[in-house]
Amino acid sequence: MRVCFRSSVKPSQIPEYRRRHAAVWPEMLRELKAAGWNNYSLFLADDGLLVGYVECDDFDAVRARMALTEVNARWQAEMATLFEDEAQAPDQGFLQLTEIFNLEDQLSAANAAEDNPQPQKEQS
């Protein structure tokens, strides 16, 4: 599945957020991959809007697998002060967005429809 989510970094903390993500701990990178986070990217706007994208088997499951790791607990604690909502761990504050369009999915459906046209009903 493809998942997109958003969160908010404090504008005053954007330089620090960028610095930390320029050199994520190798141990954290390995745990993300082992937990099933594939093709994972983060995008950050100048106002602090953070948008993430990940491909995984199940978003709740990959988040739960990461929650079991010691390195994730340390990473979330380090990152918490950089986010607008400090009341919860950053990875718990993600607002999942609903996918409404995917080019490949629609092309596949269109091609399948063209390959298997439905017979036209006769009009009376």
- The answer to whether 76 and 90 have CB atoms below 8 angstroms apart is yes
**Across the chain, which distance is largest between two alpha carbons, in Å?**
71
Catalytic residue among 11, 18, 21, 68: 21
Q: Cα-Cα-Cα-Cα dihedral of 69, 70, 73, 76, to 10°?
A: -80
21 is catalytic: yes
Report the alpha-carbon distance of residue 33 to residue 69 in Å, rounded.
Answer: 12
- Report the amino acid identity of residue 12: S
Check: CB of residue 3 under 8 Å from CB of residue 96. yes
Length of the chain: 124
Catalytic residue numbers, as ranges = 21
